[in-house]
Structure 1
């Protein structure tokens, strides 16, 4: 049996087969044949002869016979019965004499493979099958086309809920759901935005390599008083490491060598002018010109030498602040390692001063934080816990929010937020730089349902409604 969908017919069922493979050659050829026959509106009785058939049907039947090896094939367009036929169930539908004005809704295909019964024998049987098939298919299509049919089916199956025995339970459940919905809409709750971050000293600096080179020396020897466990204390301006740049050393030696040679040449010219023995006016003038040229050359070489010397000084990396080195095992990490200009060598933090929390707020939540800062106050309250101490909550206030977002390590857009710790909190925490923090920013009061499901609603707005 084939059902008409638009201008084409699709094979929906084959007797004796539980499932259909729509991409198979036989099913595809049968669908094409049904489409061609339905387009004409006339029944097809094929018993081996194709001379009297239209060309498009002849090609379709030949292709199908090659695939199926059927001896005879009958294709009858199924037309929607009249309402008068529905009022008179005993009236039979004749596929050959049915009025052509009725809508074609599909086709029924009868084929004979092993036997070859004549049309006079098989026709009465086809009439009976045609009648039931046309009525059943028309009713199925009408039933399927009803608006929101799956909803009405679900409601129809749920009518047992309002029967006398189930009605009290139904009312109780409905009342409970109503109370829950009212609670979600009316009960106010703290609206908080969650974010991850790090606890670090306010005074914290990264140390960069200003020149490319190989690390050849790391830190001077520390006395026991200057060490605190594995932490190394350094003072501002103290040498941290020394780099070696072979190209820079060669450049320095070339410039210095040229400078020395030029200086010696200048000294000789000056000495000749001072002695002034046997010099003609022409020779004296030539020596004075040479002296001027050499002095300008020396002046240029001195500037080059100063620039190279400045680059050499930058090979010695010093501490920008007082503090401790927070980077782990720097000697093993950096010794004899080649680095490029701008590479981070280590971090130094002054742990004796104030600490702060730096949050990475997801961009889709940062807008609510900005709105709350405008509506309530800039210094919103923040509660946070430490990864190593999840049972204790600490508090602080927002002191700054970044003007732009940036890409985090997980490739998501985040907005940086700085949080100052409340007085006394810093003394309670056993602090270490870069401690992992989970925080919640208080953004005012909102209905409980919005606090719980606002991200689901925003997902629908972004992916469904937009």
Structure 2
């Protein structure tokens, strides 16, 4: 059986199939593109590029309808090649052609879109010029075949897609161009419908956010609360990275709130520079929009803005003065102003909006900022006026307190008021012991400091910590290289002079003395007298140096115990100066006393109580830190009060009180007392009312700091 093979497809059929497949692929790509949430500019660019590529056309254009109903160019490819830019008449004809396609009715019996051959009217039979009016009619004055199709959404025609095609194609091919363009324009209409629905949803969300922001911003007449609300809710409404609110009448606002921060450091570099920037803008009263260029700003604003941007790395920001516009009449005359009218509002702060990442301004950003600014001005103006009312905190407190006088709560209010009044009366009438507390330290009565009597270096230490010493016992040995040098030199000089003096003396008084001439005798007698005087001086100097040498040995001024700690570590091998305290010696076996540091401001109470006391002394109770179970007592007399005050610790000026006490009772309570042991002491200063006994520091403060100044 003979088999016949199927003839191969013609090359033209393969090309057509490939072309159709490519066009279908492009249509799917446009369909997917139309479902994406991208900006119109990007959509028009990708859409027209795919359409021109599918039709293998030299170029094309997308014409859109603006908010005012005018045609505007959305995107173009090779529009200049059409020659329309150089021919105004051709532009007018082309514009009317696009308008004709845009306004053509859509529906059964109406032709949608158009294919216009080169240098012809809207259709083959149209004239290019109206014979009656002489106006140029819609026409294609270019060398290209124009394929035009409108783009519709649910609101009607929104634009026209135009393709510049090469002329000469068959009518069926031209119709194919138009059918393809109409098909993709339906997909573009789907994109516009989806975008419109998204914008409506965004507007609905924006209105809800605006309603929430407006309600919260005007909710309370509190400046700080209003500022925090504006900063945080305003940031959400605007969609910015950070919103800051500065508040203050005049030209010196201060930062009151920063979005996302409950508290912030007003002394930080960012806060300080932002405050300076807000004040610089407030002085000018002009809005400042920064996206990277500061060359057109006022010099003081430019300087402050550059410093802040360098510190915060902000990419874009708006600094807008907040003005109290209530009662402002821009058309007020000079007479109206004199009568109390206002032509311009007062600056009450600044709204600062920042973008940290991108310096591009998003769609609707400026409008949202203006809305937030408008409501901020009103809210802060009302809050400032409310807080500026005379004694407003008092009126608020009284207003909140009215609940206490209602029928159900009135008995409780009377009872509580009576209890408070009774407590106040008792605190003023009931007397108690008036006690003044102070911190003190114990020490033996006999305490002496051991001083260095001469400059030197510690050579040896003859005692240890807490060692028992006798009066005159050597404690520390010093050495002085300079002193040894002076001693050696003085002794050598003394020996030399003494030898010379002896020699001259023998020459005068010896056997050969009679042989000297009168002149030689007189000369030698004079020399002997001079040497004798020098001998006396050198012996006195040597005695003084030997006395200093003896002072290199530091002795104890009394019998007692070394109470200086870490003696060897502090002194060994170290240079010391004359008058420097080396050690402290105390007699722990003798009597002990208590030294209390009392703030100077309380000394008046103590002095007054001593003078009013029958025995001119006050009882002092004290508690040892080493024995808190037993309270000891002592007496303070007027000689025990130091004559001068000194600054000690955190209490400022304090006066040292010396308290004497029973030594037997003290020995029983403190078996091994330590020098400098801490003590809590209370001085009995008579009796006073409960209120004054506990609040005397406050009363004294009011008397000295408030009443005295009045």
Give the TM-score normalised by the residue count of structure 1. Answer: 0.70
User: Deviation per CA, 1:18-46, whole angstroms, max 9, x where unpaired?
Assistant: 97446777995798489xxxxxxxxxxxx
Match in the other structure for 1:285? 522
1:116-265 correspondence to structure 2 within 5 Å: 147-219=390-462, 231-265=466-500
Show CA shifts across 1:335-376 (max 9, x none). 222211111111111122111011222212222212222222
Query: Is 2:632 aligned against 1:389?
Result: no
Tell me the secondary structure at the aligned position of residue 231 of structure 1. coil
Structure 2 SS opposite 1:104: coil
Q: Per chain length, whose mean CA-contact separation is higher, i.e. which structure has more relative contact order (CA < 8 Å, sep 6+)?
A: 1
1:373 is matched with which residue: 575, 593, 610? 610
Residue 556 of structure 2 corresponds to residue 316 of structure 1: no
| Contact residue 443 and residue 676 of structure 2 kept, 8 A | yes
Q: What residue in structure 1 maps to residue 531 of structure 2?
A: 294
User: How far apart, in 2, do the equivalents of 1:404 and 1:310 lie?
Assistant: 37
State the match for 1:443 in structure 2: 685
2:655 match:
415
Structure 1: 5+ residue stretches without partners: 1-11, 35-66, 69-74, 81-93, 115-128, 223-229
Report how far residue 149 of structure 1 moved.
3.0
Distance in 1, Cα, partners of 2:530 & 2:279: 100
Question: How far apart in 1 are the matches of 2:651 and 2:691?
Answer: 30
Equivalent residue for 2:697, pick from 451, 455, 461: 455
Give the 3 Å change call, closer, same or farther, for CA 105–463 of structure 1 in structure 2: farther
Q: Tell me how far 1:251 sits from its aligned partner.
A: 1.0
In the TM superposition, residue 146 of structure 1 has moved relative to its aligned partner by 5.2
Distance 1:351 1:161, change over 3 A: same
- Does structure 2 retain, via aligned residues, the 8 Å contact 1:269–1:291? yes
Find the aligned partners of 2:421 and 2:401 in 1 and give their Cα distance.
19
Quick check: 1:266–1:291 contact (8 Å CA) kept in 2? yes
Q: Which residue of 1 aligns with 2:563?
A: 326
Q: 1:365 to 1:288 in 2, by over 3 A?
A: same
Quote how far apart the aligned CAs of 1:283 are.
2.0
Contact 1:215 1:339 (C-alpha < 8 Å) held by counterparts: yes
Tell whether the 8 Å contact from 1:210 to 1:342 is kept in structure 2 after alignment: yes
**Is residue 592 of structure 2 the alignment partner of residue 355 of structure 1?**
yes
The structural deviation recorded for 1:404 is 1.0
Distance change (3 Å), C-alpha of 1:21 and 1:335: closer
Give the C-alpha shift of residue 438 in structure 1.
1.7
Q: How far is 1:323 from its partner?
A: 0.9
Q: Which of 616, 641, 645 is equivalent to 1:401?
A: 641
Preserved CA contact (<8 Å) 2:636 2:657? yes
Aligned-residue offset at 1:394 = 0.9
Show CA shifts across 1:152-172 (max 9, x none): 222122111111211222122
- Give the Cα separation in 1 of the matches to 2:567 and 2:532: 48
SS at match of 1:404: strand
| 8 A Cα contact 2:476 2:553, kept in partner | yes
Match of 2:643, SS state, is coil
Distance 1:26 1:280 in 2: 106
Assess if the C-alpha contact under 8 Å between 2:332 and 2:343 holds in 1: no
In structure 1, how many angstroms separate the alpha carbons of the residues matched to 2:651 and 2:381?
56
Distance apart, 1:104 and its partner CA: 2.5
CA distance in 1, matches of 2:284, 2:479: 80
Q: Which has the higher helix share?
A: 2
Size of the aligned set, in residue pairs, is: 375
The CA deviation at 1:378 is 3.4
Whether the 8 Å contact between 1:201 and 1:353 is mirrored in structure 2 is: yes
Checking the alignment, whether the CA contact within 8 Å between 2:440 and 2:678 is kept in structure 1 is yes
* Structure 1 position 395, deviation (Å): 0.8
Larger radius of gyration: 2
TM-score, length-scaled by structure 2: 0.47
Change over 3 Å in CA distance of 1:108–1:403 after alignment to 2: closer
Secondary structure, counterpart of 1:156 in structure 2: helix
CA-atom RMSD, angstroms? 3.9
Task: Give the aligned partner of residue 580 of structure 2.
Answer: 343
Aligned-residue offset at 1:332: 3.4
Deviations 1:170-227 (A, max 9, x none): 122112211221121111122122221210110111111111111112227x9xxxxx
Runs (5+) with no aligned partner, structure 2? 1-226, 248-274, 288-316, 347-362, 364-373
Which digits, 9 at most, give the CA deviation of each residue in 1:56-94, with x for residues without a partner?
xxxxxxxxxxx99xxxxxx997559xxxxxxxxxxxxx9
Task: Note if contact 1:381-1:442 (Cα within 8 Å) is conserved in structure 2.
Answer: yes
How far off is 1:455 after superposition?
1.2
Query: Can you list the C-alpha shifts for 1:426-464, whole angstroms capped at 9, x where unaligned?
Result: 222221211111211111111111111111233344555
SS in 2 for 1:391: strand
User: Structure 1 pair 104/32, CA: closer, same or farther in 2 (3 Å)?
Assistant: farther
User: Would the alpha carbon gap of residues 259 and 378 (structure 1) be closer, same or farther in structure 2, given more than 3 Å must change?
Assistant: farther
